[in-house]
Structure 1
Amino acid sequence: MTAPSTADQSSPARSAARWAGLGYLAIFVLAMFANFFVLESVYDLEDAQATLDGVTADGDLLRWGIIAFLAVFLIDIAIAWWLYVLFRPVRRDLSLLTAWARLVYTVFLGVGLVFAFAALMIAEDSPSEGTATDVQLAMRSFEMTWLIGLTAFGVHLVLLARLLWATSGAPRWLAVVLAVAGAAYVADTVAHILIADYAAYADVFLAVVAVPSVIGEFGLTVWLLLIGAQRIAVPAARAAEPEHVSALRD
């Protein structure tokens, strides 16, 4: 199958890049609010009673946090599609796999939100001696479901880095940082499972994940917005790529 002309491809590709960049900006705001403002206020990893007190005292705040995560859930679905549209001229099979990896993460986030809402319902409807333990279990289930999903997100970033590496004009340093961030997400989830005293190392792992993730994903956001704002050709495979790459272009 021959590839369509660049003129046919450039407009949807620029549009996809622009919308993906805007989607990333929205996620930055929503995730910062839900994760660092809401969860930090209501959830204590080591103290079930403190978690119950936080959920009980700030139930409305937790509801807004769940809504923010729900918005992230929906935006991530759209971003998976927009990135696929942008990168399929580079390598369609890898672009599709990258989108699927992000969608797997999104599904786990959605399931995790059910546990977060269950914690809210338990705190409000079941005042008993076991309530603190039940609320803590629900919140930890939310956290672990989300973390397992972030493993798929880490794979998504590694695959996305591979696509960037093969894309003409894309900054290779950005591909490297995204690959490191993806590996960090996977390592953090594994650490949660293997290290019984994870809380003692939580700050270290937070830095290991946050630094490359913020740099890489913010850099990707800027690059996507620049792509979307300029009248340039769609991303194309680098000249050094094997011939089979061009055969996979739409």
Structure 2
Amino acid sequence: MTTDALIPHATGRADDPQVRRRAARVAGIGYLAIFVLAIFANFVVRGSLVHPGDAVATAADVAASESLFRAGLAAFVVVFLVDVPIAWALYVLFRPAGRDRSLLAAWFRIVYTLMLGVAAVFMFLGLQLVTGGPGSGTMGPEAGMLMFEAFDYAWLVGLVAFGVHLVLLGRLITASGLAPTWLGWALVVAGVAYGLDTMAVTLLPDYAAIADVMLLVVALPSVVAELSFTAWLLVTGWRRPRVAAETA
């Protein structure tokens, strides 16, 4: 299958079913890719090697598993790249529901993607500092830990934009009927949860006291909504056209 066969052409009609199916395939495949990559980078790598509040242990674990840490960083970079065609494909897919609103939703996803790229830079700088790489000078584990914390907050800032993207996307769905209405509302709830979490981190001095609750508040709706959305994208992308099926 060639790249042209997968990527929808921007010049196609907004209501062309073939163009929309191609867009759904691009977005669905992209979502599958980022699910796998993000789980590996965030939970397998970062979650096991970076220990909040313990700079010495973090530096020791990162230095001892530098190859694994770099693999996680590379996974974040690939997610950064894959999110761009996803944003484009979702714009094409939901353009019939309103070109300007679909474009706005895509722009908010691009803002999130840019912040993920910034966060990856902080993650790389932290690696350099805790492993004594070029430019680290006399700075040590504490400076590296600060960079890992900067990664966390840069990503959280990006997730606010991602939350707005999900809310806009959900409202496009509920208003247009291009996808199941329940799926649209699920995306809205997930988007609001992302925003609430970032605001809680920003405004509450003792966020750690409610961190476990907020993890549940964010994880439950986001996993349900985004996995369901991925499944819908893949089914829509490979569903046979009704006319062709009836003719056969």
Q: 2:171 aligns with which of 139, 162, 166?
A: 162
The alignment's C-alpha RMSD in Å is 1.9
How far 1:211 sits from its partner (Å)?
0.4
Structure possessing the higher relative contact order (Cα contacts under 8 Å, 6 or more residues apart): 1
Percent identical: 51
How far 1:130 sits from its partner (Å)?
4.6
How far 1:5 sits from its partner (Å)?
8.6
Q: 1:206 aligns with which of 215, 219, 229?
A: 215
How far 1:54 sits from its partner (Å)?
2.1
Question: Is this contact kept in 1: 2:126–2:147, CA < 8 A?
Answer: yes
Q: Does the C-alpha gap of structure 1 residues 4 and 105 become closer, same or farther in structure 2, counting only changes over 3 Å?
A: closer
How far 1:178 sits from its partner (Å)?
0.8
User: Which of 55-64 and 65-74 deviates more?
Assistant: 55-64
How far 1:10 sits from its partner (Å)?
1.2
Q: Secondary structure at 1:46's aligned position in 2?
A: coil
Distance 1:5 1:63 in 2: 41
Q: 2:160 aligns with which of 141, 151, 161?
A: 151
Q: CA offsets, 1:151-201, max 9 Å, x none?
A: 000000000101111233521111111111101101111111122222232
Question: Is this contact kept in 1: 2:29–2:234, CA < 8 A?
Answer: yes
Q: Which amino acid aligns with 1:228?
A: G
Distance 1:46 1:202 in 2: 14
Q: 1:108 aligns with which of 111, 115, 125?
A: 115
Distance 1:141 1:71 in 2: 20
Question: Is this contact kept in 1: 2:14–2:92, CA < 8 A?
Answer: no
TM-score by length of 2: 0.87
Report 1:26-105 matches (<5 A).
Answer: 26-105=33-112
Point out where structure 1 has 5 or more consecutive residues left out of the alignment: 234-250
Match of 1:22 in 2: 29
Q: Does the C-alpha gap of structure 1 residues 4 and 177 become closer, same or farther in structure 2, counting only changes over 3 Å?
A: closer
Report 1:174-193 matches (<5 A).
Answer: 174-193=183-202
Point out where structure 2 has 5 or more consecutive residues left out of the alignment: 1-11, 243-248
Match of 2:7 in 1: none
Report 1:200-239 matches (<5 A).
Answer: 200-232=209-241
| Runs ≥4 residues deviating over 3 A | 3-6, 126-130
The aligned length equals 229
Q: CA offsets, 1:2-57, max 9 Å, x none?
A: x9595xx1111100001101111111111110111111111112222222122212
Distance 1:158 1:54 in 2: 38
TM-score by length of 1: 0.87
